Amino acid sequence: MADIFRIGNCAGFSGDRVDAPGPVVDTLIEQGGPAALFFETLGERTVALAQLEKRRDPTRGYEPMLERLLEPILLRCAAHGIPIIGNFGAANPPGAAQVIARLARRLGMPDLKIGVVHGDDVRDRLDIGRHAVYEADTGLDMGGGEVVSANAYLSAQPMVEALRAGAQVVVTGRTGDPSLALAPLIHHFGWAADDWARLAIGATAGHLLECGAQITGGYYYDPGYKDIPDPANIGFPIAEVHADGRLFITKALRTGGLVNEQVVKEQLLYEIHDPGHYITPDVTLDFSGVTVRQAGPDRVEVSGFRGGPAPRTIKATVCFDGGWLGEGEISYAGPNCLARARAAARVLLQRLDIRKLDVEARVDLIGVASVHAGDAGAMWRDAAPGAAQDIRVRLAVSARTQDDADQAAREVLAMYCCGPAGGGGVRWRTTPRIRTRSYLMQPSDLAPGCTVRSAVEIAP
């Protein structure tokens, strides 16, 4: 009997399409055989934003769409023995477990077993002066802000423990993203924690799937060059792992999007630096010999990846209070709009000086020069006449205080009456900022683990 394990991904970030899970679960059930589902909803700074939310309300700080994501599928997954794994616990995994437990009870599943992984929050264990800074971050200025969150990237092992204890849903905070997919594979196939070649299969599958639709046509679609079917209904991905080590990427049936060699290559290298040395908490991956092969419609085989020993240190990302972002926007369109927009931009920068606001500023002329432009503003200053006929001027500032950020952003509002002719559509806002820096900790600095309890025990 062919031993095949399928893993579906139902979210690639916090904010992903909430109707993604249904078709993935339909497909896993239809195809039969052992399977698991995972959600990756915890970007590098999402945990800090969640921590800020938890400060305001101690019952929150988990993925805000959690209930909306799980409600349509929880019953079916439990009925078909498909465990659900997610880092949707964010800054508050026990809080997320409460939500899931209440949902399970409401759906008539008081016995649903929910595992909660702990130990990623290292605020009490991290000594910033003692730990080495992760190399890509040595140049970042932390501005002396207070620590908001500090989370270590846990391995798959605590999740495996939870699955062994019968968990049907596993809630985590920070783990290695690929570890979310690796855990059910270790549990199913019984791979050893130092079987690098096999762990590499699961970690590669996890890496390819962790951004959801990015491997099924999302962030890929480029009309005329890379077209995809039905982009409004992109199917989320499913990895098929064979006991002999073969790995295929497919997607939910009867959905849009595609799985072809091009999109798999794009995702293989996504957020990768040295392809010969991609570190996950469980195994170090070597993608330098990877090849991809279209093995059928929406089906690509990935092979040639290798695994080496897991790193000796554990990466922990620390988020610091980073002051405030202030933003204001105003539009100019029609004849001479470039001149009017440029004049508005110059006046706004002058106003910040006149007001003596303690801010760092940048201006964009959206429609002329924005996301590709540098902070210095050469692109909008030098834009050719007639570069655009509908321009949005954006002022962005960083400030230590919310008041300075707000006062700077309100200078855009004042442009209604004081600025160049025909300015309209002002929006302004302030947002708290988070700065992140990663450090390398020792395994002995951490004490990860899990608890597994039934819904009725968690939410009596």
Among 362, 381, 400, 427, binds other proteins (CB under 8 A): 362
Contact (CB, 8 A) for 237 and 215: yes
Nearer to other proteins, 182 or 395 (CB): 395
Residue 189 is a binding residue for other proteins (CB under 8 A): no
CA 22 – CA 19 distance, rounded (Å): 6
404, burial (CB in 10 Å: exposed 0-12, middle 13-18, buried 19+):
buried
CA 252 – CA 23 distance, rounded (Å): 6
- Letter for the amino acid at 169? V
Residue 372 is a binding residue for other proteins (CB under 8 A): yes
Of the candidate spans 66-74, 219-227, 237-245, 348-356, the one that interacts with other proteins by CB under 8 A turns out to be 219-227
307, burial (CB in 10 Å: exposed 0-12, middle 13-18, buried 19+):
buried
Of the candidate spans 162-170, 284-292, 410-418, 444-452, the one that interacts with other proteins by CB under 8 A turns out to be 284-292
User: How far apart are CB 291 and other proteins at their closest, in Å?
Assistant: 5
**Using the 8-state DSSP alphabet, how is residue 175 labeled?**
B
Residue 159 is a binding residue for other proteins (CB under 8 A): no
CA 35 – CA 9 distance, rounded (Å): 11
User: How far apart are CB 254 and other proteins at their closest, in Å?
Assistant: 26
Of the candidate spans 118-126, 139-147, 164-172, 413-421, the one that interacts with other proteins by CB under 8 A turns out to be 139-147
Residue 265 is a binding residue for other proteins (CB under 8 A): yes
Beta bridge pairs of residue 432: 324
- Letter for the amino acid at 440? L
Residue 267 is a binding residue for other proteins (CB under 8 A): yes
Of the candidate spans 24-32, 51-59, 119-127, 224-232, the one that interacts with other proteins by CB under 8 A turns out to be 224-232
Nearer to other proteins, 98 or 204 (CB): 204
Which of these, 119, 267, 286, lies nearest to 206 by C-alpha position? Answer: 267
- Site size toward other proteins (CB under 8 A) is 61
Q: Is 393 left (phi over 0), alpha (psi -120 to 50) or beta?
A: beta
Residue 30 is a binding residue for other proteins (CB under 8 A): no
User: How far apart are CB 66 and other proteins at their closest, in Å?
Assistant: 23
Torsion sign, CA atoms 260, 290, 153, 77: positive
In angstroms, what CA-CA distances link 299 with 216, 228, 250, 309, 456? 10, 15, 5, 30, 41
Residue 194 is a binding residue for other proteins (CB under 8 A): no
Residue 394 is a binding residue for other proteins (CB under 8 A): yes
Of the candidate spans 178-186, 190-198, 286-294, 344-352, the one that interacts with other proteins by CB under 8 A turns out to be 286-294
Pairing relation of β-strands 84-86 and 169-171?
parallel
3-state secondary structure of 108: coil
User: How far apart are CB 247 and other proteins at their closest, in Å?
Assistant: 16
Residue 144 is a binding residue for other proteins (CB under 8 A): no
Residue 402 is a binding residue for other proteins (CB under 8 A): no
Residue 378 is a binding residue for other proteins (CB under 8 A): yes
Residue 20 is a binding residue for other proteins (CB under 8 A): no
User: How far apart are CB 274 and other proteins at their closest, in Å?
Assistant: 6
Residues 421-450 that bind other proteins (CB under 8 A): 433-438
Residue 91 is a binding residue for other proteins (CB under 8 A): no
Nearer to other proteins, 288 or 350 (CB): 288
455, burial (CB in 10 Å: exposed 0-12, middle 13-18, buried 19+):
buried
Could you write out the DSSP letters of every residue in 378-421?
A: HHHHTPPTTS-SEEEEEEEEEESSHHHHHHHHHHHHTHHHHSST
Residue 53 is a binding residue for other proteins (CB under 8 A): no
Nearer to other proteins, 23 or 237 (CB): 237
3-state secondary structure of 41: coil
Nearer to other proteins, 254 or 429 (CB): 429
Instruction: Provide CB contacts within 8 A for 286, sequence distance 6+.
Output: 200, 275, 276, 277, 278, 305, 306, 307, 308
CA 342 – CA 194 distance, rounded (Å): 60
Pairing relation of β-strands 132-133 and 424-441?
antiparallel
Among 108, 129, 141, 444, binds other proteins (CB under 8 A): 141
User: How far apart are CB 319 and other proteins at their closest, in Å?
Assistant: 8
Of the candidate spans 62-70, 120-128, 133-141, 168-176, the one that interacts with other proteins by CB under 8 A turns out to be 133-141
Nearer to other proteins, 291 or 350 (CB): 291
Residue 51 is a binding residue for other proteins (CB under 8 A): no
Residue 39 is a binding residue for other proteins (CB under 8 A): no
What does the binding site for other proteins look like in residue numbers (CB under 8 A)? 44-45, 134, 136-137, 139-141, 219-220, 222, 224-226, 262, 265-276, 287-292, 304, 319, 322, 325, 360-362, 364, 366, 370-376, 378-379, 394, 396-398, 433-438
